[in-house]
Each structure stands twice: as C-alpha cells, then as structure tokens.
A and B are shown apart, each in its own frame.
Chain A
Amino acid sequence: MTNVLNSIIANQSINKSGKQNNNAAFVYTSDGRIKPMKEKGRLLPSRIFGSPIEYAKDLKKDIVSIGKAANGKANDHELGRINDLAMKLGSFALASYLFVKNPLKLSKAMEFVGFGTFFASMSLWPKLAIQAPLRARTGVDIHQKYIDSQGRKKMLFQDPQYVLTDLYSREDLDRIGKKLNVSENIPDRDNFIKQRAQKTALQGNTLWMLTAGPATPLMSALICNRLEKPIGKAIEKHALISSERAMQNGGYQSLWEQIKQTISMKMFDRYLQKNADKTLDEKMISSIAARLGLRANSATVQSAIKEELSALKNNVRLDESFIRNALRGRIEDAVFNSLSSQQRVLLNDAIRNNSIEEVADVLSKTIGSSKREQMKLTKEITQILRKAKASLEVPKISYVKGQLKTLYSSINDFAAGKGVLDRYIDARVGDKAGTYIANQWGRVGDKLIKSLNLSGKELKAVSNGNIDIITEKLAALASNDAEYDKVIKQLMKLIGNYERTTDSNFVSNVKDKAKSVCSSAGKDLRTNGFVKLADRISSNVQKGTVENIININTAERISGAQSSFYRLLQSLDVFRRANNGSLERQIASALGEKGIAADSATLQRLVKACQDLVLNATTTDYVEKLKTAGFNLSEIEYKTIMKILFDSDADTTIAESLSRTLGADKVDDVMKGFNSYRKEFMSKIANWQNSMTPELSRRTVDGVTNAANAVERNNLAGKPIRSLIQDVAKQTYNSQKWLKIFGGAMLALTAITLIAGLAIGRKGKIEKQVEQESKVNG
C-alpha cells in the first residue's frame, strides 16, 4: 500500500505554492489534511473501428512519451504504448527496405499493403471474431476502454485482479444484466453482474490470446491475396494515365526534369574527379560508356560512346623534335646532325609517312655496325617511339574532363527525354510483369480458364500439360452456343480495349516523341562535335538508330500481342468448325476439287491436325511442311488445311459468331484485322513455298518477296493457346490450392472461435447456485 501511496504522491503535481492543478491526485482539505480528488475516470464509447483523429491524437501522445522516456520520465503505460509504436516503426522500416528491394511496382506496393493488413488483422481479428459476437450476446465489451484520472487510455479488463467495474453506469449494468439473464431479485445484483462481466472478459481475452497467433498472419495473407488484383489494376491504370499526361507538354517538362535530376552532374563530376589521374584507355572508355549507356538505357548509345571516346585520343604525328626528345639518352643529337644527305632524305620520308618502323630502320642503319646490331636497334627504337607516342595520344581524364562533361550533359538530357517515352511505352506494351499488355493477357487467360469449367483434378492435369483435356474442353466449349458466344464476347471486349490502348494514336505518339527526343539529342551532340554518336541516335541516312529501334520494338510488341489475341480467336473458331462439321466438309470439298476423294479417317486426321496446329504449333512446326505438328501430310493435304485455316474466304463461322455477340456493325472492323493477320500468317509462315530454315528465310520464292525474319515470325505466330491455358491453369491451380488450405484454415479457426465464444459468459456452478439461493430465499 505504501508503494501505491508513494506513487500517487510522486505523480501528483501540486506546485510549491500549494495550489492544486488539474492533474493532481489529491487535494488539501480546509483543515490542512489531504484527501484524494474526485475520480475523473470514465468509460470510452465502444467502437470496432477507431476514428483517424483519435489515432492521430494517440500517436502524438506516444511521440511525447518517447521524449519523456528519453529523459527517464515515462510510466509503465507510456512504455507499453511505446512498444506498440516501436513495433510499427520497425515494420515500416522493413517494408520500406523491401519496397526498394522489389523491382515491380505491384510487389513494392504489396510490401506496404502487407504491413498495413498485418496490423489491421492484429486489431480486427479479436474485434470481429470475439469482441463483437460476445458484446452482442452478453452485452460485455471485452475490449472496453476507459480513460483514467491521468488521462491515460487503458483496457478495462486488462488485469483481472484490478477491474474498475464501478465505472459502469446504471444503464450499463442493467443492459449487461439483462443480456446475461441475471435474475432481478438476487441480493447485491450489481456486484453479481460485475463479476459475470469480469469473468466473461477474462474468458474472451484468453480466447483472444489463443487464437490471435494463427489468425493474424492468416487473415493478413488472405486479405493481401484478395487485394493483389485490384491493386495491380489500380497501378496499371495509374501508370497509363500518368505516362499519358507526361507526354503532354507541361507534364513532359516536369517528368523530364525529375528524371534528369535522378543522377546529377555532381555525381558524374565526382566520378571524373576520382579518376582524374587515370588515362583514357580502353578500360576507362568502357567504364564511361557503360555509365552513360546505362543512363540512356541503350546498348546502341553505349557502343557509339565508345567510338566517340576513342576519337578523343590525339592522333600524334611524328616530327623530328619529338623523335629526338623521345630517343634522348639513347641516340644523341649529334647523330641526327651528322646524317648523310641520303639518310636525311630517308628520314624525312619516314617522318612524312608518319611511320615509326621506317624511322627506326633509318636510324638503326645509321648507327648500327652489324646487321645483327641493326636489327636489335630497330626493335629498341620502335618500342621507345611507340611508347612515347602512346603517352601523348592517350590523354588523362583530367585533360578531357570538359569534353566528357559536355557529353554527359547531352546524354543526360537525351536520357531524361527517352525516360519519359520509355515510361509511356512500358506502361502499355513493356516486356515485363505488371504492364497493361501483360495484365490484359492474364485477364484473357483467366476468362478462358473460367469458360472451360475445369474441375480441381482437371485443372491440375492441365497445369501439368495434359493436352487431351484442353482439346476436350475446348470442343465442349465450341459445342455450347451460349458459352461460346459469351467467351467470344468477353475476349472481344478485352481485345477491343487492348486495341484502343495501342491504336495508331499510341504508335504516332511514340513516333513523334521518339523523333523529337532523338533529333534534339542528335542536334545537341553534333553541335558539340560528337557526330558519330549523334548519327547513332538520330539520322536520316543510317538505319539502326535509337529512334528506329524505339519504333521497331514498339511495333513488334504490339503485333506480337495482337497475333496472340487473333490466334486465340482462330483457335476457338477452328474448334467451333470442327465441332459443327463444317471443317471436315470444307477439307473434303477442297480435296475433292483436287480430284481426291478422302475417306473418313483421312478427314478426321486432317481435322485433328488443324486443331493441333492452332493449339500447339510454334513457328518451328512449320519448318518441315510435311511433318507439321507431328502429322505425316502430303503436299496437297498441307496446302489444303493451310488454305482452310488461313484463307479468309473459306469460313464464315467466326464472322457469324461476332455478329451475334457484337452486332453486325462491328463485325467488319474485327474481321478486317483478323483476316489481315491470317493472310500475313499464310504468306510469311504457312506458305508452302516459304522455307522456314533460317539461312533461307529471306530469299524470294515464287512471288513471296517478304519472307519474315525470326522475330517477325515469332511475333506473328503469337503465343500457342495450349501454353496460355497451361500457364494460367498452373497459376490458378496453385492459387486455388493455397486458398483452399489457408482459406480453409481461416474458416475453421473462425468457426472454432465463434463456437468457443458461445461457451463464454455462461453461468458457472457458483452463479447458478447464487441465483438458486436467491429464488429460495424469495
């Protein structure tokens, strides 16, 4: 007790003048004695979610508490709260580190989402699974908070041996008593209710301790799992909008400045300073070129810079004074002065020819007595002169610092402009995860997998590459009009969105900006004398400039994705035609025209070949025409199925389906693109005369003048639908498996907690006995 009193005394804040203040725990009575002040503690309203203002106020208090504790003045309550704050600070620091570590925007964002959901789960689990149900059933809020006379917020039921249940109002007690079904007539009813409330809270808090461990990471992981897609979509949308804005004038300037300043001239200056005494040799040239090439994100720029820096070396021409100086100590001036007229002519010729070897030859013959000695001298003089020349040719970094800084400045301006453009392109068609094109492809796969209605086992088999199930499911899909039309409609919506995002407007934006950024950099570099580099960035004559590469890469990415989308339509169409028999009829008719009456087995084999081709084939499958996709085909068979697959006049099913789903007015546009893809595929890949062997791929054969290179072919072939389905199936299967295990665990834990919660707050033997006795006593 003494300690308690001491503490109250120590905490009280009566000032020396004897006046009390608001935080004092006791007051003086009129006769000079002291007595405790009237209590100011009160219960706080029970809420599941606290208000942000309250959080901010608490945070402010915690920060003040840290200051107090640093001066050795905090109390237990404050130290406890500092622990919670420190845990959050540590976790925030960790999330920040992992934010930097992760390369993708989505992963970066998920680090902070994970941080937030973990603490949210820690707080929400007991509230949702224990506190709220118990409050609804028993009226007792096990996390009831109160504010004490010192203004500290605490949990009412934290310490079961020190529960301030007298803070309950009359209404609170009546409400809890009614919910707990406490008889109206028992003696000392209020205390009885308080004890029941205390017991309920103790049981609830114990349940909280037992379940919080597994519940928090589970809940957090499940929330993150559910949030990943919407957050990915939001990031994608933000990237599209912000990069679009950056292409406008004002936005461009601002982002340009921002990127430019990510690596300042100061840093490059420090680098030059550090290497000031080094010579501009191959190693340094590579180092500087790599640095600047990386800055511009361009291998072309890097190799061009190497050439430019090599040109910074002096081209020292020989003259007699240079030779005399270099050889001083080995050959005296007198030798030069006493040269015969013939030797003088030879030496002058050698100097005019700028040939060290010739100079060495003349001098060695002048002073060497024997043939052997002359040879030795020639070698020695050559070495001395070469070394001397090289030392003058390769300047020190400090010597060319000014030129390097000018080069850096030009490249940095160019890199910033290219950076803005790169972001614009990357957000749409970038070859990495999280871009619009990658996400859109993922969405297509998701829709397709859903429409195939795969069971868990089938999903696993498909994810392991079981092609029979894929074929079977696609056939089933093609046979169901409603499902088929639905898939076509969904896919067309996604393809339509993709085409709008990567339409001619996008291409011309890229082209215009690439032109302006590269031309401006070229002009700047030419003015500063870096002509070769300027030509590699932008040129009306040269091919393979940075400007060209940007445009070509963009076009290839667009066409690659477009081909994949069209191939998907093509695949569905082939399965549809195979299913309704039109494909077989078309093949029979085409063969009939050639005078071949194919039997049923041949026709089925060819139908199967068509299905396998659209499903599986890569460009290499078309190399050996007669063994396409593993089938043994005759020349006529090959030509026939290729005509049916890729000749737009041969089928109408896809147009009919599109007409049903999109409306007749929109069919023409889609079919135009689709047919153009098929025709191109026919001419560049499927054509009988178009050899696919790499060394012959560009030859002109029988009117096919534009046989494609490997990149074009791959882009045109698109992604095989089987690998799309398999990839998405893998992802879906893994995700479902994970969700099944941990979603199931979460459900089980929630169910156990809720059921266990039902046993809490019930009358124990003693409570029943007390009530019984009160009834008997009447």
Chain B
Amino acid sequence: MVYSIGVQNQNTRSLSSVSFGRKGTDKKSECENKDVLMYDEKKKHPISTSVKIQTDKLVKAFTKYPEKGLKGSKNANFYEFLTMGTVPYLAGSAMMIAVFNLASKFFDTPAAVNASKLGKKMGLGVLFYGIGKTLSKKLIETPVNLRYEIDVNLPYEKVIHELPEQGNTDNLVAKEYHKAYESVDFPRWDLFYNNKSFGPDRNSYYKKVGKRMGIDDEDLDHADQKVKPLIREKVIKTKLFSTLSSYFWAATGVGIAMQKPWENLVINPVKRIKNYQNYKQVAQAAKEEGIKIAKYDNFAKDFGKRFIQSSKEFLNNKSKSLKIAGRSLFGLAVGMTLLGNFSTLFDFNKSRGAKAHASSSLIDESKEKVVC
C-alpha cells in the first residue's frame, strides 16, 4: 500500500480498521465498528447527555490524557490532544482573573478599590467571553439542526481498543466522545446508515435530510449520494459562521463587562451576607419609623440589573464615539450571526446539489480502477 505522503504506523492501521467498519470479508471481525451515535440519548436527555460528555472530557483532560502524554504513551492520540485544549483555556482564564485581582489585596485602600473595580471587570470579561463564545454558536447551529436535522454537535461514543503498554497485555479499552460531523473531510456518514433512530431504511437519515432540503421524493432513490455533499456544504458554512460570530460575541461580552455598573458589584458571598444583615437591621428600623426603603436585591437580581445597565451603557453610551464603537461591535456579532443563518438556511442555487453529486463521479467510470 502506498500513500500520497508519509506512512502510517502500526497503531494507525489498527485504529483505521476500528473506525471504518468491517474488514474486507463479511465475516464478523473482532474489530467490528462499535461506535454508537448518541442521537436518541441526546434527544431524550439533552442536558444530562451534554453534562456526561463534558464531564468525561474535562476530567480526562486534567488527569488521564496529560498522564498518557507525559509518559509518551503509544496510545495517545489527536482526540486526547484536542481535548486537553480545555486545560489552557480554563487555566488561562483563571490566570487572567488572578493577574488583575490577586495582588490588589496587598494594596492600600484607594489603590485596592481602584484595582478591584478593574479586577471585577476583567474577571467578568473572562466569564462573558466564554459564555458569549459558547452560546452564540447555538444561534446558528440550532436553526440548522431544526431546519435540516443536521446537528453539527451530534455526538457518538467511540470505543478504542488500545495497544498493550509496558507489559500490560489486558484488553485496554478507552471511550471517546466525538462528533459525527467534527471532520468535514471525513464525516462519519457510516453512523447514519441503517440507523433505526431515523427510520427503518438504510438511507432513512439521508432521505429525511433530503426532504427537509426540499428535494423531491423521486430524486431520493440514492438519497445518501445526493444529500451527503449538501450536508457537507451546510456543515462547513455552519462551522464557518458559528466560529466567526462566536469571537465577535465573545468580544461583545467583554465590552459589556467593561462598563461602570459592574464596579460596585459585591461578589464575595461573606460580604453579601453581611450587607444583607445590615440591610435587615436598617429595614426593621425603617419599618418602625414608617419609612419606605428600597428592597434588597439578591445576587441574581443585582447581577441582572447591572447586566441590563451595562448593556445599555455599552450600546447607548452618552459619548457618541463610544456609542458608535459599542454598536459596531454588537452589529458585527449580530450581523455575522444573521449572515450565518441566511447562508445556511437559504439555498439560492439548488442545482449546486446536483453539481456536488456530479463531482463525486469525476473518475472515468469506463476505466478499471486499481490502487497500486
């Protein structure tokens, strides 16, 4: 076997066999594809499924995968490397918050107050960055899923049979949570074939998507061949615009966090409890005197109010230049999301599907094909 570049090592060969189904013959192989699409599970329990996957990945990102990586395990793989990406993300966020907050407690009062104001904004900035980046993707991914049944985050459980290491000859099995569409070059089309979650037929999923895309029934005899290029196109566009928009939403989040109303937010729970106790005493005294005083806002309410005030300050600042700047940033985020929805949900050139279909038969069918 000759590859265009490079060679795959032994591990890759065994893995590729696992990933891509049965070996040449119809005999049942030990390396049978055991990957399971988590469609039903996600549909029934979307939150718990997501929590289960994220927890598994997070725990392993901080424990098992670094251990394997540092030991130089021959079973370490790219999935583990990518999953470990959470470590710098979270550790970096924590350090960013620390850089702006940790030293201020050593400062004298006025400097500490000023540092704390900035520290709070920076801390919230980190938080809003993460929230903005994560949630905004849903604004494009969800409509695509609802409209076409293409869930770019649809997970599947992958079972890996690892190679024995350092004398351990047990049947090492590892579980990974991938996404069926995580690769646009190699989507896991195979997981959708004969999948009873979508219907009784081999092509039920592809027919369903095809119908959602407005393709006539008579054109769906070979639905998979017809629809796969179109799905790929949708997935690419969804990924493009959700990525582009997410960073503008993240920036918008930081922009909102940088506004004045956050400066006096009391985050420390001990201080909040003390403040509440003081408030109760004042409220009691006021009641006895027959004076009305404002209600005490709990953290959620206080936070919500400040968020609204900050958003207003961000979008409708008294300074004209800041107003333009805030609205421009917000406009970029909203615009990119709308463009993403527009681009993924509307197809003005339906013949492109046919073109894409044609592109898969570029090889001269009349000629014999042998991989040499």
List chain A residues, Cβ under 8 A from B66: 206, 209-210
Q: A455 CA to B237 CA in the complex, in Å?
A: 61
Closest A residue by C-beta to B339: A70
Are B184 and A74 in touch, CB under 8 angstroms? yes
List chain A residues, Cβ under 8 A from B3: 36, 39
* CB 8 Å contact bits of B128-168 with A (1 = contact, 0 = none): 00000000000000000000000000000000000000100
Q: A67 CA to B120 CA in the complex, in Å?
A: 39
Are B186 and A32 in touch, CB under 8 angstroms? no
Is B88 part of the binding interface, using a Cβ–Cβ cutoff of 8 Å? Answer: yes
List chain A residues, Cβ under 8 A from B78: 158-162
Closest A residue by C-beta to B89: A213
* CB 8 Å contact bits of A731-775 with B (1 = contact, 0 = none): 000100110011000000000000000000000111000000000
Are A738 and B103 in touch, CB under 8 angstroms? yes
Q: A737 CA to B108 CA in the complex, in Å?
A: 12
List chain B residues, Cβ under 8 A from A206: 65-66, 68-70, 76, 81, 84
For residue B91, give the distance in angstroms from its CB to the closest CB of chain A. Answer: 3
Which B1-40 residues sit within 8 Å CB-CB of chain A?
A: 2-9, 11-12, 15-16, 20
Are A76 and B184 in touch, CB under 8 angstroms? yes
- The contact of B362 among A14, A167, A463, A764, by CB within 8 Å, is A14
Tell me what chain A mostly uses at the interface: helix, strand, loop, or mixed: helix
Stretch at the interface among B192-200, B270-278, B324-332: B324-332
* CB 8 Å contact bits of B82-94 with A (1 = contact, 0 = none): 0011011111111
Is A505 part of the binding interface, using a Cβ–Cβ cutoff of 8 Å? Answer: no
Is A8 part of the binding interface, using a Cβ–Cβ cutoff of 8 Å? Answer: yes
Q: A86 CA to B239 CA in the complex, in Å?
A: 12
Q: A577 CA to B232 CA in the complex, in Å?
A: 86
Stretch at the interface among A216-224, A385-393, A469-477, A623-631: A216-224
For residue B16, give the distance in angstroms from its CB to the closest CB of chain A. Answer: 6
Are A162 and B362 in touch, CB under 8 angstroms? no
Is B267 part of the binding interface, using a Cβ–Cβ cutoff of 8 Å? Answer: no
List chain A residues, Cβ under 8 A from B95: 213-214, 216-218
Are B4 and A97 in touch, CB under 8 angstroms? no
Q: A25 CA to B3 CA in the complex, in Å?
A: 10
Which B179-226 residues sit within 8 Å CB-CB of chain A?
A: 183-186, 189
- Name the residue in B6, B68, B325 with the highest tally of chain A Cβ atoms < 10 Å from its Cβ: B6
For residue B126, give the distance in angstroms from its CB to the closest CB of chain A. Answer: 9
For residue B6, give the distance in angstroms from its CB to the closest CB of chain A. Answer: 3
Is B303 part of the binding interface, using a Cβ–Cβ cutoff of 8 Å? Answer: no
Closest A residue by C-beta to B343: A70
Stretch at the interface among B51-59, B250-258, B288-296: B250-258
For residue B162, give the distance in angstroms from its CB to the closest CB of chain A. Answer: 11
Which A87-121 residues sit within 8 Å CB-CB of chain B?
A: 87, 89-91, 93-94, 96-98, 100-101
Q: A89 CA to B77 CA in the complex, in Å?
A: 30
Are B255 and A97 in touch, CB under 8 angstroms? yes
Is A200 part of the binding interface, using a Cβ–Cβ cutoff of 8 Å? Answer: yes
For residue B19, give the distance in angstroms from its CB to the closest CB of chain A. Answer: 8
Closest A residue by C-beta to B103: A738
- The contact of B5 among A35, A167, A734, A737, by CB within 8 Å, is A167
8 A-B pairs closest in CB distance: A90-B247, A213-B91, A206-B69, A72-B233, A164-B6, A213-B88, A41-B5, A199-B72
What are 7 A-B pairs at a CB distance below 8 A? A4-B16, A34-B363, A72-B233, A100-B321, A202-B72, A210-B66, A734-B115
B residues near A (Cβ < 8 Å) are 2-9, 11-12, 15-16, 20, 65-66, 68-74, 76-78, 81, 84-85, 87-96, 99, 102-103, 106-108, 111, 115, 166, 183-186, 189, 232-234, 236-237, 239-240, 243-244, 246-248, 250-251, 254-255, 258, 321-322, 324-326, 328-329, 332, 343, 359-360, 362-364, 367-372
A residues near B (Cβ < 8 Å) are 1-10, 12, 14, 16, 18, 25, 28-29, 32-37, 39-41, 66, 69-76, 79, 82-83, 86-87, 89-91, 93-94, 96-98, 100-101, 148-149, 158-167, 199-200, 202-203, 205-207, 209-210, 212-214, 216-218, 221, 463-464, 730, 734, 737-738, 741-742, 764-766
Given contacts A82-B244, A206-B68, list 14 more A-B pairs with CB under 8 A: A9-B362, A29-B372, A33-B367, A66-B244, A72-B234, A94-B329, A101-B322, A160-B78, A161-B12, A167-B6, A206-B65, A206-B84, A209-B69, A737-B103
